[in-house]
Amino acid sequence: MSDDQRNSAARQLRDAVLGLPEMQMAGTVAAYMSIGTEPDTRGLIFALWKRGTYVLLPVLQADGDLDWATYEGPDSLVPGPRGLLQPAEARRGVTAIASADVVVVPAVAVDRAGRRLGRGGGSYDRALARVGGAVLTVALLYDGELVAKVPAGAHDQRVRAVAQPSQGISRLS
């Protein structure tokens, strides 16, 4: 994809996710700072923060688990491991994600049953295991990344919805 296509996709994803009823009512949202060619989350995170939503972002720990800290604007981010940007704020603990009303997660692909393919480290599977069953979990995808089936193991956690630039939000079973 070209830079223009990725920028357009990021805006469409941002608007689709911000339009979710659960997102409009959320007091706390756990999200992530995208890296590389992942769908860009900066606009989404900034928009949530500007409207007063408490935004939690992950802090990658040495064991691959995710701690969480608050986003306090673009200047509150510092370089972390593996090219990540993460909050410089005080850590809230690995269980902080359990307080989120909505959780936005990265994915390489998701299947129609909600099985998510990540980068293989298991960080988000551990984090998602701490999220309550009624909490909306949304994976951000490019068009074509919602597929019939992805490989999954017993430890893999499902997402309840995906956002795609052309399709908007799709709820999964």
> Mean per-residue pLDDT for 96-117?
96
Query: Can you say whether residue 114 is alpha, beta or left, with left for phi > 0 and alpha for psi between -120 and 50 degrees?
Result: left
Token pair in block for residue 74: 């673009």
Q: How many CB atoms lie within 10 A of CB 74?
A: 11
* Sole residue written with tokens 């805006």: 11
CA-CA-CA-CA torsion sign (149, 151, 154, 158):
negative
Distance CA 163, CA 33 (A): 16
3-167: what CATH class? alpha beta
Q: Is the pLDDT of residue 40 over 80?
A: yes
Burial of 25 (0-12, 13-18, 19+ CB in 10 A): exposed
Distance CA 12, CA 165 (A): 5
Annotated domain spans of the chain: 3-167
**pTM score above 0.75:** yes
155 pLDDT band (50/70/90 cuts)? confident
pLDDT tens across 47-79, in order?
999 999 999 999 999 999 999 999 999 999 999
Distance CA 137, CA 158 (A): 8
